[in-house]
Amino acid sequence: MERHRLLDETSGTAPERFLMTLVKKALDFVPAEAAVLLLDDPVAKEDDRSRNELTVVATAGEFRETAIGVRVRPVDGIAGFTYARGERTAVNEVKGARALSLEADEAFASPVRSALGVPVIIESHVCGSLVLVNQREGAFDQRDERLMALFGDTLSLALQNLLDERRAREVARRDSLTALYNDRYFHKKLQQEIDRLAAGADGDLTLLFLDCDHLKAVNDEHGHLAGSQILREVAFVLQRQLAATTSLPCRYGGDEFTVILLDCTLQQGLEIAERIRAAIQDWTFLPMAIGPGEPALKLKGVITMSLGVASYRRHCTPGRPGAEQKNELLKKADAALYHAKDAGKNCVVGARRESGPPSYSSVLLKT
């Protein structure tokens, strides 16, 4: 029952509070002066766990919170030893040993006399350890070890649930074909950023509307399998060109894409849009066969991109509600895209502040 209650209490909470709740519950299972949760870096970790570093991510009891973020090595103390071995570890006469490390142990309110650690296991992989320090009623006994083993299983399950929840949430935000964010998340994020600026935040926001030129002709001649692969490659080129920006690229639907450029003026947005346009024009699409019996098409200069650009400071009316400002920005960027198509495609058009078609000075024609 306690295990189910723990999972219920931590479901849907913010990660920091989630981890704090878990660690505090450990002290309910086995009364101790302090509890510390350490996790490895899933990106940098090596198969040989003794070579990895652990980071203090959550604490409870008599341990300074300022130590959160401290890194320790497996050779430094009992926490790392538990992680490296992947087994429960109890030490009731610490003496010269350390619970975490020589420096990190100074964060405990009193000298470490005893320690009990259990590994944290997610998807059959050891990814950290949980350590209790100084049993309040003497040494840690076999009952404490059994309870901590039980809690370790519960902790691992709760962390797995958190990861599954976040993965499911991320999948719901993504377009299944290109793996870019989808239109639903695009609208949500755009409204959030506009509301932030409308509330008085500094900076700007620029919106790009993008449309693939001539994709329908490719679909008609080579089939939709080729068209789908082109959209994937467009997404790849888009992400590569945006790597140095703070941005959110999305697939809006069909052969249309959008990009939210944060802290970006209209002029900067026009320059980024031109780089994207040039990169798409220079890209060789379908350089390899996409299926049995399907030849590599190596299409270069066939697929191009038309782009419309609008910015918050330039095109949204100050003082209007955020939802109305969002509609203004969408309409301006969409109108600019329409004029890019009308101007011969494969070009970038910046929206005008006033109503009516853009002037020629706001059109960056293909070079």
**Phi, psi of 31, rounded to the nearest 5 degrees:** -60, 125
CATH number at residue 319: 3.30.70.270
**Residue 11, pLDDT above cutoff 50:** no
Across the range 6-15, mean pLDDT stands at: 46
Question: Which of 144, 173, 202 is where one domain is finished?
Answer: 173
Q: What's the pLDDT tens digit per position in 101-112?
A: 988 998 998 888
C-alpha span between 353 and 355 (Å, rounded): 7
Q: Which residues are CB-neighbours of 23 under 8 A, at least 6 positions away?
A: 35, 36, 37, 58, 59, 60, 130
Domain presence at residue 178 = no
Q: What's the pLDDT tens digit per position in 177-223?
A: 999 999 999 999 999 999 999 999 999 999 999 999 999 999 999 88
In Å, how far are 8, 28, 197 from 14, measured between CA atoms?
A: 14, 21, 25
Q: What is the pLDDT of residue 278?
A: 97
Domain identity same for 214 and 244: yes
Q: What is the pLDDT of residue 353?
A: 75
Instruction: Look up residue 359 and give its DSSP letter.
Output: P
**Residue 361, pLDDT above cutoff 60:** no
C-alpha span between 68 and 105 (Å, rounded): 12
End-to-end CA distance of the chain: 69
Determine whether 274 is exposed, middle or buried from the number of CB atoms within 10 Å of its CB (0-12, 13-18, 19+).
Answer: middle
Domain identity same for 271 and 359: yes
C-alpha span between 116 and 187 (Å, rounded): 49
Tokens 């405990």 locate to: 108
The encoded tokens of residue 140 equal 């840690």
Question: Which of 116, 139, 173 is where one domain is finished?
Answer: 173
- 236: number of Cβ within 10 Å: 14
Domain count, the chain: 2
The secondary element (H helix, E strand) that includes residue 208 is strand 205-213
Determine the longest span between alpha carbons in the chain, in angstroms.
82
The predicted model scores a pTM of 0.65
Q: What is the pLDDT of residue 59?
A: 92
- 142: number of Cβ within 10 Å: 8
Question: Which of 155, 173, 191 is where one domain is finished?
Answer: 173
Domain identity same for 154 and 239: no
Answer with the residue of higher pLDDT: 135 or 3. 135
Picking from 293, 17, 32, the residue whose alpha carbon sits closest to that of residue 148 is: 32
Across the range 270-299, mean pLDDT stands at: 90
Picking from 341, 266, 271, 358, the residue whose alpha carbon sits closest to that of residue 307 is: 341
Domain identity same for 152 and 192: no
Q: State which residues form the domain around 295.
A: 183-364
Q: What is the mean pLDDT of the chain?
A: 88
Q: Tell me the sheet residues that pair with 99.
A: none
Weakest-pLDDT range from 228-242, 331-345, 346-360: 346-360
Q: Tell me the sheet residues that pair with 284.
A: 300
Q: What is the pLDDT of residue 14?
A: 61
Weakest-pLDDT range from 212-221, 263-272, 355-364: 355-364
Q: What is the pLDDT of residue 364?
A: 55
Picking from 63, 121, 66, the residue whose alpha carbon sits closest to that of residue 88 is: 121
Across the range 300-318, mean pLDDT stands at: 95
Q: What is the pLDDT of residue 88?
A: 93
